[in-house]
Amino acid sequence: MKIGIFDSGLGGLVIAKAIFKKLPRYDYVYLGDTQYLPYGNRSAAEVYRLTRAAVEFLFAQDCQLIIIACNTASALALRKIQREYLPKHYPGRRVLGVVIPTLEAVTSDKANSGELLVLATAATVKSHIYRKELQKLKPQVRIIERAAPKLVPLIENNQLSKAEQPLRMYLDLLPEHKIYAIILGCTHYPLLKDKISQIAGKHVKIVSQTDIIPFKLADYLSRHKGIRLKLSRGRQRQFFVTKSSHHFSAVAKRLFGEKIKFNVVKY
């Protein structure tokens, strides 16, 4: 059985690449819902419907474990899928998200003091998922959530060179606050990590899920032997999208250093 990785577009490829590097032996299936991106402007009901359909597709591809790399889907759909959908339809399989592992990593350093800034999609910010989960982990830390709706379209269309102006607009609150770290709360944003760091300054830590999720997944598998033993180890990787795009292919080639074959699917 395989590990599935799902995202609303190409952002999850950044996470996938990091996971492949950390855990190269396993078989993977990647699915990007490029037809309906971005999820950040959609309702909770829409995001759940789309995410559930993606999960069903990946389970049909023989995935034992699915990583929902999309922060918006993790915020708006993951809990319902875990509590209602899986027990009824696939009780022996698992679906994991990215929000809680990210917060666990960023709050583990006791030396950190000040405020956390979460840069995310409008839907993720509206859900306040980062604020709610942070209250459970470290209630004394203050969190600021900032929606950055212009970034995903720029990244999906391979227009990273146009991102500096909107980034400066989204980060204009930095001088007014004691920000010690910025959480890149969308899997697309690591592609802009260097530019964000340049604008924020060396004193601000940039928290990228590419540096967190692969290690969290490795730890999860080490603690869940029953799931780990079900996973095949053929180093096979399949990539699916719901709509083809030359921009998508160009960004994927830049990420992996080679052309990636995407199979277009409807489900």
Residue that the structure tokens 């598998």 belong to: 221
Answer whether 106's CB lies under 8 Å from 137's CB. no
| Residue 63 appears among annotated catalytic residues | no
Tokens 């350093």 -> residue: 109
∠ CA 8-13-19 to the nearest 5 degrees? 125
Distances (CA, A) of 58 to 116, 221, 238: 34, 19, 11
Q: What Rg value do the Cα atoms of the chain yield, rounded?
A: 18
Catalytic site residue from 186, 196, 207, 251: 186
Is residue 186 part of the annotated active site? The answer reads: yes
Q: Starting at the edge strand that comes first in sequence, how are the strands of the sheet with 237-241 ordered? A: 94-96, 63-68, 2-7, 28-32, 237-241, 263-264
From CA 197, how far away is CA 185, in angstroms rounded? 15
Q: Is the preceding peptide bond at 139 cis, omega within 30 degrees of 0?
A: no
Axis-axis angle for helices 99-106, 213-223 (nearest 10):
100
Catalytic residue among 70, 86, 154, 231: 70
Q: Which residues are catalytic?
A: 70, 186
